[in-house]
Structure 1
Amino acid sequence: MSQLFTPVRIGRYIAPNRLVMAPMTRSRADSDGVPSDLTVAYYAQRASAGLIISEGVFPSAMGKGYVHTPGIETEAQVAAWKKVTEAVHARGGRIFMQLMHTGRISHPSLLDGATPVAPSAIKPEGQAWTPAGQVDFVTPRELSLLEIADVIEDYRQATRRALEAGFDGVELHAASGYLPEQFLSSGSNQRQDLYGGSVEGRARFVLDVLDAMAVEAGADRVGIKISPEMNYNSITDAAPQETYAYLVEQLRGWGLAYLHVTLFGAQFDYHAQLRPRFEGAYLIGGGLTQDSAESALYEGKADATVFGSAFLANPDLPERFRVGAALNAADRSTFFAPPTAKGYIDYPALAAAEAA
């Protein structure tokens, strides 16, 4: 029997299969960060995943980095997400919320005129996606120690609200050049206080946020996503192998639900380095196919495998893999689009595709 379709423990839960839906920004929320009923249908359609990890959700208004991304700060946002979790649970699925504070990868026009925040006042290269289109990033404002404590509290409060909305757990997005990785990486963190300098100092923010989330939810309902050497959003680190080995080593004994590691382009075998250091479920992602996912499980390189665009275009991906059916092709032009059904909830499931 294929290992993809065997149960696996992920924190306090037993997932029915080892196919995890990746967090994917879809930009379908309204201007207030409230998901629509289309979002309810989108996630419910994909409830056969062993676990769904939601798109990135800003924990506080200052964490928003893109137009039409959802939040978990207001009562309206909580109520909208509750519809999503109820629909997923009604179909037997489980769903974690990914908490995504973008830090300097934002723009004042997304923050009611405020300057984006970061560990250090270093302007990233590139442009922000705003209501007016793409505009250059600005130089962020360096967070004070008191403000860092407030951001950590924002994550704790967001975790509580995610649970109120019915999510089964939460994932800390510590990749893609967003705020946690900005603290972690030497190229974006030039602080010389408690949260900078050595690898111990640069990792402290990530560990403090995870601790706050674990206190609120229980460690076995908390995961973390990392992506060493992805170098996205102008992020660099002088010694990434040392940085990530240290970070994961510090998580020993925490009892976290999972470590989610996505690799794109790294020449070093981070899976071989990190998997032995982590005691919970080890999730891998990044350009997997059914065959490569099977191989990773068979060779003991992972406990579960994470798929992005394949799940986006194939709401019934586990069934398609199980029977060897052809996959729908993903339409990249609709990955980030106005809140319409096209390219969002209109990909056909297998039975509908065969009938057509």
Structure 2
Amino acid sequence: MKTDLPDAADVRAAAARIAGVAVRTPLLEFPALNARTGGRVFVKPEVLQRTGSFKFRGACNRLSQLSSAEAPGGIVAWSSGNHAQGVAAAAALRGLAACIVMPSDAPQLKVARTRGFGAEIVFYDRLKENREEIGRGLAAARGAIIVPPYDDPDIIAGQGTAALEIAEDASRLGVGLDAVLVPAGGGGLAAGTALAIGALLPDAKVYCVEPAQFDDHAQSLASGARIENPSGGHSICDALMAPLPGEVTFAINGPRLAGGLSVTDGEVEAAMRFAFEEMKLVVEPGGAVALAALLSGKHDARGAAVAIILSGGNVDAALFSRVLSAG
């Protein structure tokens, strides 16, 4: 693994590396969303990506450069579910064993899908245990390679391919984007987006969007240093509950992002309903935060051209049914 920060050239290299394996998701426009926001909104539905989230991009880029000889003990990763599935699927394609450290309260759909790709799962208590310590211990005992969820140059470059496609497709449409909104947990997707958009659409501003109780990026961007969320918080957005921006990701995001936005669980649920009813898309809570920022007015899109990433669609049926019925 490289230890220096990735750049736009690394994102382009990742795009070439994963072409034909990862799905090139479309850039969509919905009249109902434009009417609601007063602008032109372009939607990148990574819910249609392999494994149901953008996470497959980074995992595919990282593992495609790894041979079984380099990882005799396989792969170890930690994740609440989407990185878990991405790594498990990419490892299966490479013929590598995968062990994923997952929180005991992870959505059952994500647990089942991760197992379905052949990965071993080790559960932990997210309130009492440290997943990274558990993962590093497993890797050391097994002679395995660690594939972290965001603080890795190859992971970041792979995630950035989604934004590279946004920029390319917007240019083909003759649209100059004013802003790009992207969900943020550890910041890998935001960092890859900042690199790709900064190189191809330098006039577009990139904003990260987080759950209200997990707005560590917004606080960190405002202060200029990484700030950790207090423990004990909870959000419906299980995929975005990282307590602190990554060291590598914040080194990229700090000087490049235009700011951070936050949305409440209620605003997220309203966005999930809108996506289902008006866009015919199933979006998980963490994947809906950028849409929630637009619909709630946290970002004003009136008269502007804005792209958003719907980062994942892996939501348990019971939760999704409750959200839809609450509208």
Query: Is TM > 0.5 for Structure 1 vs Structure 2?
Result: no
Structure ranking higher in helix proportion: 2
Which TM-score bucket, shorter chain as reference? 0.3 to 0.5
- Highest Rg: 1 or 2? 1
Normalising by structure 1, we get a TM-score of: 0.35
TM-score by length of 2: 0.37
Greater relative contact order structure (CA < 8 Å, 6+ sep): 2
